[in-house]
Structure 1
Amino acid sequence: MLKRLFLILFLLFLLPGQIFAQAEFSTDYTVDYTVKTNGLTHAKLSLSLTNQLSNIYAKEFTLSIGSTKLTNIIIYNSAGTLEPNIVLGDKTTNITVPFKDKVLGKDKAQTFTLEFDSADFSHRLGAVWEISIPRLSKTDNLNSYQLSLTIPNSFGQPATITPTPTSITPIDHTTVYRFKPEDLFIKGIAATFGRIQYFDFKLQYHLNNANLYPIKTEIALPPDTPFQTVIYQTLNPPPTTVTQDPDGNWLAQYPLAAKQSLDIIATGSAEINLRPKTDFPPQTLNSTVNYFSEQKYWEATNPKIIKLASELETPQKIYQHVVDNLIYDYGRLSENTTRFGAANALDNPTSAVCMEFTDLFIALARANQIPARAVNGFAYTTNSSLRPLSLKKDVLHAWPEYYDEAKNLWIAIDPTWGNTTGGVDFFNQNDLNHFAFVFQGQDSQYPIPAGAYKTDDRQTKDVEISFGRPLAHLPQTSLVFDLPDKFLAGVPLKGRLILKNTGNIALYNQTIKLSAAKMKLTQDQWTIAFLAPLSQVSLALEIPPTGWNQTLTDQLRAESELSSAQHPLIITPAYRLIATSPKFKLYLISGITIILLLIVLKLIYERFFAPKPD
């Protein structure tokens, strides 16, 4: 009995297709991926198709490879080279292998080998090599699956590899990693070689005040996180101040006059780390933000959301459900994308972009009392089909975070890319491609990220990011006293002490101490929890009054961890200050002169002009 067999090798994602008579054949795979020093990956797939019945044989075999950039394709068996039929899809290469010989008989096997090169599985991203081998989708007729991954030693030591290899073998100038087959059915291989990525950036913000009165407004600057350090080279013009909101956003304040427009440019570099920084302040949940509440696009109290959330008790289960059940709609990228929200994403699962993947995860997490929030930012991708970006303004991306109470950390995940890459794990490991601009936890729509500060008549490219190089961290401050040198005795001394961050990185928990040799101080120490680069903080100074008749010379001294300043003080009684003042002397002489002049004028008047008595 002649049957045609179509078996699909799911290397990237499950494609619609038909598998005939799976019980009539069993398949065995031996797959070797060898990454070359230039990043090109050579794949060798040896397949054996064994008859389970005596009266059937396979006429052809179809594989779907999750890449459209295959080169040097060759297929052969013991009889020689086979001529495949190759059809390119949107994101796949479909290879049909016709068998020349009929292999009949139970337990008889048809074997062949496919080899090709691809640039889609390994990428050098700045200072990092990233390897992504998508998962194999397990089928009922699969008998065995063995995979090895060979990496050149020039890539350095691995920062992360998931799943965990079962063996690591050095061979010549390479290292061979092998894995449990059952792990590869759950998720693909994701490996990173390198621990820090560097992005240089230039961000432009366009502000406009259309009102007839002045206003104060703000922009969101990319902030530090436990996994991210932002070094600022310029911020022009400088803001009046930079504050940190409960979500950790850096909000730079700018005043705008009536009808004023203002363009702001920020340049610098971002360091993205795989591991959280040990010297970063702990990320305790801010008590002023309800990370369980419903908001627009996060319908945590919607009955459908609540019902589904009750079946998904952990962040990983929620992540996997979102990855498995939403379908990325590439057609929406060419439109003016509208944000659907979580509830609508459930009703329209085939038309999702990164906003829907993010919103649905957050709503389900919050319905389960798991703190969750959204991140907007830049995500580097070499393949917009496998790792799409959906926020069209300057090609930004959105992804969610959930709070891990055991680690005191917000954990970033990316269900969008988990879906579009066909199972690469974006839950259990961080990558070095995500650069956070803003965090939206207390508000699902604010703050808006760099790239979204547009004016109606100017649609410019405002986000420019490229791979960079390490920049030196320059923690620098200056202290400046803003108060007079001389004060009246008996009067409180009031002024300000200004701490300026003149360096290029943010400062945390800076202690400032104030001292005086003779005078008592109302407050002699401050702790500044956060000070953004190129910004300043002003501290109120007040020194209790001295005796009204006291004369005193003293010196104030302020010290921080990075700078110090001194300021002389002269306390003088009012009468002495008045008496010794040059202005007072001038006023006194002028007053006496005027009085004498008036007396003289009076005498002259009385002598010559006043009426005389009869």
Structure 2
Amino acid sequence: MKKVLIFLGLVFLYLFSPKITHAESQFLTNEEVIYSISEKGTTTVTHNIILENKLTDIYASSYSLKLSGVKPQNIKAWQNLNEIQTKILEDGTTTTINLEFPDAVVGQGNARHFSISYDDGTVSTKTGEVWEISIPKVLGLDFYDSFRLKLEVPSSFGNLAYIYPKPENSVNSPNKNVYLFSKEFVKESPINAAFGNFQVFLFDLTYHLENPSKINSSLDIAVPADSSFQKITFTNIRPKPEKIYIDEDGNWLATYKLKSAERVDVRVSGAVQLYASARNFPVESKAYLTQNMQETPVWQTNDPEIKNLALKLKSPRAIYDYITKNLVYDFSRVKPDIERLGAKKALKNPKNAICMEFTDLFIALARAANIPAREINGFAYSENLSLQPLSLVADVLHAWPEYWDDSTKVWVPIDPTWGATTGGEDFFSKLDLRHFAFVVHGKDAYKPYPPGSYKLGSNPQKDVYVSFGPLPRVPESQPKIVIEKIQGFNLTNVVYNIKIVNNGASAIYDRKITIYFDGANQATKNIAILPPFGEESFEAKLSSIITPWKLPGQISVITDNQNVKVFTDRQRAIITEISLLMLFILLIFLATFHEKLHINKKNHKQNP
């Protein structure tokens, strides 16, 4: 669970006027809290406090600071470089630090400057390749006349992946990065940040396939795919698929051919890099975006209640806020093979929601508001035992939605489920580096089935394993160019098939394929994305074989630094053409000779 730091304000002994009970009317309170994180991840928290007397006859003689969910270590307090004795009281998860001031600061306008510091090991955590920082929401900020929070992070933590809320200011230096937050910036939410270029998860997935029919058949399985926020590198796919192709939603589908009654276990392993910011990715077509505003059996966009609510909410942010505030997570429903209620039932039964209902309701409301939206099904890592996906012990995954941001041309992932179950953390403005997408459901709310769904028998085993790990070192994928003549008799054209194949471990992007006939540019093709084991084919039609001298002698296919050439059958075609012509002439000659001979014989008989 997230740690919550609670400021309960000042507890004073009023020596001159014990009847006054509201410290706000008697003191100006200014505080600066510094979270200084070491390179090993330990955080020293320092509260620099100023209490200024508003009245002449009242001063503060003691101060109490309560910390909830924090186990402070190395607690210290001082004033003017002199140590102040502390009394520590612990009650369950609450620690109270009590100070008794050794002197009296009396007089209107006079101020007491003092500090409290302690070490906290819960603020920063290294998960995989990323340092994650979580500073709890500060409560009771209205008590302070001024408040400032400073976060100091070592430069060795790496690049800033995300920080929310955005700081008022930041200062970078060779040794550390400093982020400054004023009172208004931290009033509504905790501070969450991550440092590192990307997060890495290793995955090991098993698919159990069976062909129960009496004829040979092809089966497709969904393997993890690239997106704007993740990149897949495969280390093993056994057995190898016939091919991997991309469906309308961007899923990667691996095709396997199975004989009648054949069973095959497919094992897919590799690594995924998760990015905090969207990387360059092919932009969706208008037709696809329109498709992602349609109604489905679980996304009932035409339901009057959903439609009216969507008209009121209008924006993705408003829809997210409504769902996180109104749906209640029902932990009793987190189990395999649970009924999917859909958006309409989720709206009518807000206390029976799990991640599917949070997601379905968002998608239905967004689509009803003419905002393209779709479902992601995958793995989301959490230390919260109640929220951990069952894929840690079974193969029940997590679901979250994406909406299309037309200004950035990006599918934006959000998680209203976590927004409702983590004590107010914002999973709309940023999504952490812990959500690993397996499949996208846009056109169809159920298919393709995600990993973990391909099981056989009544006692299926666990088939989904995901863990933090290092990025595997594999060569960059390079396309393989194959040029083959299409066999067969064709009196009009000679046809060559040009195939671009990706036998590498990761996808290939933005490749321009140029086709030359005898050095002359004949055609240019662009491949936006070619997944591992994927292929793209083009046909190159050459001139009619009736005029073989017009055939090019060489076909070249160039992409990047590759140039593959093949010689055509031009010379043989010309020889064949000449041979056929000579044969034709010979046949005509023979036919003519035979005809003359026949006529001569006939004349001879008539004129002996």
Task: Decide: shared fold, TM above 0.5.
Answer: yes
Identify the residue that residue 183 of structure 2 maps to in structure 1: 181
Q: What is the 5 A alignment of 1:117-516?
A: 117-137=119-139, 145-168=147-170, 173-278=175-280, 280-287=281-288, 289-333=290-334, 337-381=338-382, 383-385=383-385, 388-389=388-389, 393-394=394-395, 396-456=397-457, 457-469=459-471, 471=473, 474-483=476-485, 490=491, 492-516=493-517
TM-score by length of 1: 0.75
Q: Tell me the distance in 1 between the aligned counterparts of 2:552 and 2:158.
A: 64
Q: Deviation at 1:285? A: 4.1
Identify the residue that residue 602 of structure 2 maps to in structure 1: none
Summarize the Cα distance change of 1:552–1:566 in structure 2 as closer, same or farther, 3 Å threshold.
Answer: closer
Identify the residue that residue 527 of structure 1 maps to in structure 2: 526
Q: Tell me the distance in 2 between the aligned counterparts of 1:355 and 1:256.
A: 33
Q: Tell me the distance in 2 between the aligned counterparts of 1:271 and 1:223.
A: 11
Q: Tell me the distance in 2 between the aligned counterparts of 1:219 and 1:119.
A: 43
Identify the residue that residue 20 of structure 1 maps to in structure 2: none
Summarize the Cα distance change of 1:144–1:365 in structure 2 as closer, same or farther, 3 Å threshold.
Answer: same
Number of matched pairs: 550
Please tell me the residue identity of whatever aligns with 2:266. Answer: I
Summarize the Cα distance change of 1:319–1:50 in structure 2 as closer, same or farther, 3 Å threshold.
Answer: farther
Any gaps of 5 or more consecutive residues in structure 2?
A: 7-20, 102-107, 584-608
**% identity of equivalent residues:** 33
Please tell me the residue identity of whatever aligns with 1:223. Answer: A
Please tell me the residue identity of whatever aligns with 2:389. Answer: L
Residue 65 (str. 1) matches residue 68 (str. 2): yes
Tell me the SS of whatever aligns to 2:213.
coil
Q: Tell me the distance in 1 between the aligned counterparts of 2:390 and 2:304.
A: 28
Please tell me the residue identity of whatever aligns with 1:212. Answer: K
Summarize the Cα distance change of 1:371–1:406 in structure 2 as closer, same or farther, 3 Å threshold.
Answer: same
Tell me the SS of whatever aligns to 1:185.
coil
Identify the residue that residue 556 of structure 1 maps to in structure 2: 555
Any gaps of 5 or more consecutive residues in structure 1?
A: 1-8, 13-22, 88-92, 102-106, 581-614
Residue 84 (str. 1) matches residue 83 (str. 2): no
Summarize the Cα distance change of 1:110–1:344 in structure 2 as closer, same or farther, 3 Å threshold.
Answer: farther
Q: Deviation at 1:409? A: 1.1
Q: Tell me the distance in 2 between the aligned counterparts of 1:285 and 1:391.
A: 35
Q: Tell me the distance in 2 between the aligned counterparts of 1:390 and 1:50.
A: 54
- Which has the larger displacement, 186-195 or 398-407? 186-195
Q: Tell me the distance in 2 between the aligned counterparts of 1:29 and 1:328.
A: 37
Identify the residue that residue 608 of structure 1 maps to in structure 2: none
Q: Deviation at 1:218? A: 0.9
Q: Tell me the distance in 1 between the aligned counterparts of 2:4 and 2:51.
A: 16
Q: Residues 134 and 423 of structure 1 are in contact (CA less than 8 Å); yes or no, is this contact kept in structure 2?
A: no
Please tell me the residue identity of whatever aligns with 2:564. Answer: S
Q: Deviation at 1:131? A: 1.0
Please tell me the residue identity of whatever aligns with 2:282. Answer: P
String of CA shifts for 1:71-106, please: whole Å, max 9, x gaps: 53869899844353422xxxxx345789999xxxxx
- Which has the larger displacement, 487-496 or 187-196? 487-496
Tell me the SS of whatever aligns to 1:318.
helix
Please tell me the residue identity of whatever aligns with 1:84. Answer: L
Summarize the Cα distance change of 1:112–1:478 in structure 2 as closer, same or farther, 3 Å threshold.
Answer: same
Q: Tell me the distance in 1 between the aligned counterparts of 2:217 and 2:304.
A: 42
Q: Tell me the distance in 2 between the aligned counterparts of 1:129 and 1:538.
A: 44
Please tell me the residue identity of whatever aligns with 1:217. Answer: L
Q: Deviation at 1:488? A: 7.2
Q: Residues 161 and 277 of structure 2 are in contact (CA less than 8 Å); yes or no, is this contact kept in structure 1?
A: no
Tell me the SS of whatever aligns to 1:309.
helix
Please tell me the residue identity of whatever aligns with 2:358. Answer: F
TM-score by length of 2: 0.76
String of CA shifts for 1:142-186, please: whole Å, max 9, x gaps: 665443323233323434332232344679954443312122122
Q: Tell me the distance in 1 between the aligned counterparts of 2:84 and 2:131.
A: 39
Q: Tell me the distance in 2 between the aligned counterparts of 1:50 and 1:452.
A: 65
String of CA shifts for 1:97-132, please: whole Å, max 9, x gaps: 89999xxxxx9x999998665443312123321212
Q: Residues 234 and 506 of structure 2 are in contact (CA less than 8 Å); yes or no, is this contact kept in structure 1?
A: yes
Q: Deviation at 1:335? A: 6.4
Identify the residue that residue 588 of structure 2 maps to in structure 1: none
Q: Deviation at 1:217? A: 1.8
Q: Deviation at 1:422? A: 2.3
Q: Tell me the distance in 2 between the aligned counterparts of 1:491 and 1:164.
A: 66
Q: Tell me the distance in 1 between the aligned counterparts of 2:319 and 2:140.
A: 22
Summarize the Cα distance change of 1:460–1:166 in structure 2 as closer, same or farther, 3 Å threshold.
Answer: closer
Q: Deviation at 1:563? A: 4.5
Q: Residues 290 and 372 of structure 2 are in contact (CA less than 8 Å); yes or no, is this contact kept in structure 1?
A: no
String of CA shifts for 1:505-530, please: whole Å, max 9, x gaps: 32234333434449x99x74443343
String of CA shifts for 1:223-264, please: whole Å, max 9, x gaps: 222232222333332222322222211122222222112222
Q: Residues 490 and 548 of structure 1 are in contact (CA less than 8 Å); yes or no, is this contact kept in structure 2?
A: no
Summarize the Cα distance change of 1:30–1:502 in structure 2 as closer, same or farther, 3 Å threshold.
Answer: same
Q: Deviation at 1:404? A: 0.8
Q: Residues 513 and 524 of structure 1 are in contact (CA less than 8 Å); yes or no, is this contact kept in structure 2?
A: yes
Please tell me the residue identity of whatever aligns with 1:326. Answer: L
Q: What is the 5 A alignment of 1:590-609?
A: none
Tell me the SS of whatever aligns to 2:527.
strand
Q: Tell me the distance in 2 between the aligned counterparts of 1:130 and 1:445.
A: 33
Q: Residues 380 and 388 of structure 2 are in contact (CA less than 8 Å); yes or no, is this contact kept in structure 1?
A: no
String of CA shifts for 1:184-228, please: whole Å, max 9, x gaps: 122221222222223333332222222223322211122222232
Q: Residues 335 and 396 of structure 2 are in contact (CA less than 8 Å); yes or no, is this contact kept in structure 1?
A: no
